[in-house]
A and B are shown apart, each in its own frame.
Chain A
């Protein structure tokens, strides 16, 4: 049994390990290791296309994570006072949103946005005064942020709901009983309690957006995020430079995931929440 588990872990992690290993390869071939070097990291970081893609990825990840966390927190708070069938339906929809495969979300978002633009753009053109270029909506960073934000919001709602479910409802009553206004209670009691979950939701949303290829591939328009850049480069052959980029993305994601997990764990022991 132990051997079996070991085999599975090897199967899962050896390819990743090899990518990380070969990113330090001195030679340019992916098949033989000729010596240790960090030159490919330097190459990757000085490649303007890589840096441009990185900038896009970071912008999208930050914006969509902020959007998702804010909207997700508001939704989770609102859902607290919803009971019965409405709540069950809403909960189910949130879980479905997380479970739907990325490719479905990608295609669905693409079709939805294109259709929407198809309706709005003629209206814009008709309403716009004569002279000057008519602004037209199109796929781009904005649509990517929206698509990622939508998916991450479901994630954020689930994380926050889990945290709020563990919260003692009587704390809110105690605060009101002691004379705090509803806003005062939110600021002094609810927010400190759910802050770890908010942070974790933000970090997870960030990594989701930063790592995502499929949704971005469909709705990013002409913009290139880091995963899209990696994908298109691979078609010209795997170079150690790609390995280096992959390793960096992996490292950043891992650090953030571990951080998010640690924050959630800390939050789960309510007594120790900061």
Chain B
């Protein structure tokens, strides 16, 4: 954090492939030492953003800056940036040490053999593969190859480490371990990490900030908590955590609240993180854990209750997840904690119940 200059920056960067807009007007400053994730479905432009930073693509318009310097025309091999590729891209004709030493061997003047060997061994220790230097790549498991790819990148001490869906090929258990390890590594090295992923859980658990993308554009940038609490629109809310959405028209209300008028005349009050025009098509977002389930409508006047029919019940241990259906609003999820369920008893599929939540809890979002 010695300098306020962003370590990397995109300024209005647009990338066209022929007619196809891969990235449109991306503007984003990446802070020194942070862990930033690009999150979005495939084809949203997140990989293009990463490749612009790496130098594999040049912006059609706009600028890419590294450490305050414009690097649009600097080819990949001259950028102080390293990448961990989706399928690792380890060199099959070199052994593990040969792969890790590759970047160091390209330096001019070339470091002497002893220095390279020491750096390689240190990198191997860092990814917890000490002594694996003379293994062949095909002798390593997927998780080990992942670590080699990581070591091959960090041994160069890049200003920016780019990770392109690095965990996508690993099984769930291994992925969880690697997430924790990556985070630890990022803290101890102090290198800025930029991750591309389509896995919201991965982005939420590892990143300092998340950049949510759609259709080549940035939808919202913020901390996981920001995005969870104050999503700009329905798309962002849908990407960050599980949510129920009720659609309707916006109506201004006193006290900074917005009312959503849904089908059947239901009025759902909530806060709007972004300004909305009256009459606009909006969606109310309610997390499954914000909704309760009861046998009779609660007396509490501050709560809104909807008659529902239980469709399915899934036991999740500490919680039970119900899928319920209201005649006007359709199906939605309710997450009932074990304790609350002890009071009401479990509901069986087909049973009638009252779904309720505190009026005002909802987020009213642009329905885009």
Chain A residues packing against B (C-beta within 8 Å) = 168, 170-171, 173-182, 184-185, 188-189, 192-193, 270-274
Contacts and interface: CB of A to CB of B under 8 A. Distances in A.
Contacts of A182: 77
B48 interface: no
Contacts of A176: 55-56, 75-77
B172 interface: no
19 contacts: A168-B87, A170-B85, A170-B86, A173-B85, A174-B83, A174-B85, A174-B91, A176-B75, A176-B77, A178-B103, A179-B78, A181-B77, A182-B77, A184-B77, A192-B93, A271-B136, A271-B137, A272-B138, A274-B93
B82 interface: yes
CB-based closest 9 A-B pairs: A271-B138, A178-B103, A179-B106, A174-B89, A170-B89, A176-B76, A192-B93, A176-B77, A270-B92
B173 interface: no
A270 B92 CA distance: 6
Contacts of A271: 92, 136-138
A94 B166 CA distance: 39
Nearest to A184: B106
Given A173-B76, A271-B137, A178 B56 contact: no
A80 to B, nearest CB: 16
A165 to B, nearest CB: 16
Contact of A179 (B93, B136, B156): B156
Nearest to B138: A271
B152 interface: yes
B106 A180 contact: yes
B77 A171 contact: no
A177 B82 contact: yes
B54 interface: yes
B228 interface: no
B102 interface: yes
A26 to B, nearest CB: 53
B116 to A, nearest CB: 13
Given A170-B86, A175-B102, A184-B106, 12 more contacts: A168-B89, A170-B85, A174-B89, A176-B75, A177-B81, A177-B82, A177-B83, A178-B103, A178-B156, A181-B106, A185-B77, A273-B93
Nearest to A272: B138
B82 to A, nearest CB: 6
A271 B94 CA distance: 9
Nearest to B102: A178
Interface residues of B, number: 27
A129 to B, nearest CB: 52
Contacts of B136: 271
| Residue in A179, A181, A185, A270 with the greatest tally of chain B CB atoms within 10 Å | A179
A170 B87 contact: yes
A272 B82 CA distance: 26
Interface in B30-76: 54-56, 75-76
A171 B152 CA distance: 13
Contacts of A189: 91
A232 B227 CA distance: 86
Contacts of A273: 92-93
A38 to B, nearest CB: 44
Contact of B89 (A171, A180, A274): A171
A257 B146 CA distance: 39
Interface string B133-147: 000111000000000
Contacts of A181: 77, 106
Contacts of B75: 176
Contacts of B87: 168, 170
A29 B106 CA distance: 68
Interface in B72-115: 75-78, 81-83, 85-87, 89-93, 102-103, 106-107
A192 B152 CA distance: 19
B193 to A, nearest CB: 15
Contacts of B89: 168, 170-171, 173-174
A266 B82 CA distance: 31
A75 to B, nearest CB: 23
Nearest to B152: A178
Nearest to B137: A271
Interface in B131-189: 136-138, 152, 156
Contact of A173 (B56, B81, B156): B56
A177 B92 contact: no
Nearest to A189: B91
Nearest to A171: B89
A33 B77 CA distance: 70
A165 B343 CA distance: 64
A171 B93 CA distance: 11
Contacts of A173: 56, 76, 83, 85, 89
A270 B89 CA distance: 12
Contacts of A184: 77, 106
A178 B138 contact: no
A177 B107 contact: no
A153 to B, nearest CB: 26
Contacts of A177: 54, 56, 76-77, 81-83
A176 B86 CA distance: 16
A258 B130 CA distance: 42
A180 to B, nearest CB: 5
Nearest to A179: B106
Contact of B82 (A178, A193, A270): A178
Contacts of B156: 178-179
B60 to A, nearest CB: 18
A182 B106 CA distance: 11
Given A170-B85, A192-B93, A271-B92, A179 B137 contact: no
Nearest to A174: B89
A173 B87 CA distance: 12
B107 A179 contact: yes
Nearest to A180: B106
